[in-house]
Amino acid sequence: MYGLFLRHFYLITRSFPRILDLIYWPSIQITLWGFISNFFASHTTYYNNAVGVILTCAILYDFLFRTSIGFNMLFLEEIWSRNFTNLFIAPMKISEILTSLIFTALVRALIGLIPAVLLTSPLFGISILELGIYLFFLFLSLYIFGITLGILVSAGLLRFGPSFENIAWSTMFLLAPFGCIYYPIEILPEIFQKIAYMLPLVYIFEEARNILINNTVDISNLIQAYMLNMVYIIISITLFFYSFNKARDKGTLINIGE
């Protein structure tokens, strides 16, 4: 029994991502649900059409989640199947690998999204299409951010190896409290608001609620989201190339592959 305990204890203590994983899941859950509870307790009349707005935001968030996780899954799949080396010795540029994964992640996310969108109408009498043409821009913005997170996590996997895997699963949950998916940014403490304003998510979900609740469109929210998206995706792609070069230097590509 002690041997089995030690087997897992050694595993945990030798891996910083695993320690981080243990600590921050409960913290994130408490934080996210704390903010949601606070908001509903103090703003009972905010959502006149609560189900529609919450469900729309849930679908938007799920699309973001699926895009990001989908991208990471494609990368992890190659590690798990021990096909990683085969992929990186094929005559493909890194940019071609990224483009291929970005496109495949979109297809995966859409396969999950379309049934969910279709189900909301007969089950709850709600159509996400009420967001109109702006729905496309909101989805596109979320897609870019999801891909950005996917590339960032994949850069970590390249650089640090499979132990970075746990981070892949948890990035979205880490950002969820700051994304203000179900509540306006004002509900957050000031310091958290400053962090949230640095993420495109706030502007995307703020705009989704604005369209559904106030029936108005604030283009500045979309512009702000796209500008931040551009900054983050450039950073993530740069980091991916940097990680690839570092992995070639440190030998991680060989270690992951085997």
Residues that bind other proteins (CB under 8 A): 77-78, 81-93, 245, 248-251, 253-254, 257-258
Helices 94-124 and 50-80: angle between axes, nearest 10 degrees: 150
Cβ proximity to other proteins: between 89 and 119 the closer is 89
Closest CA to 64 of 179, 227, 152, 156: 179
Q: How far is the CB of 78 from other proteins (least distance, A)?
A: 8
- Shortest spacing between CB 77 and other proteins, in angstroms: 8
CA distance 174 to 171: 5
Going 78 to 80 to 84 to 85, the CA torsion angle's sign is negative
Taking the least distance from each CB to other proteins, the nearer of 54 and 94 is: 94
CB of 234 to other proteins, least distance (A): 23
Looking at the Cβ atoms of 7 and 93, the one nearer to other proteins is 93
- Of 186 and 249, nearer to other proteins (C-beta) is 249
Helix, strand and coil percent figures for the chain, each rounded to 5? 85, 0, 15
Element (H, E) at 235: helix 219-250
Contact between residue 205 and residue 52 where contact means Cβ atoms under 8 Å apart: no
Q: Find the shortest distance in angstroms from Cβ 181 to other proteins.
A: 34
For other proteins, give the closer residue by CB, 84 or 139.
84
The nearest distance, CB 95 to other proteins, in angstroms, is 11
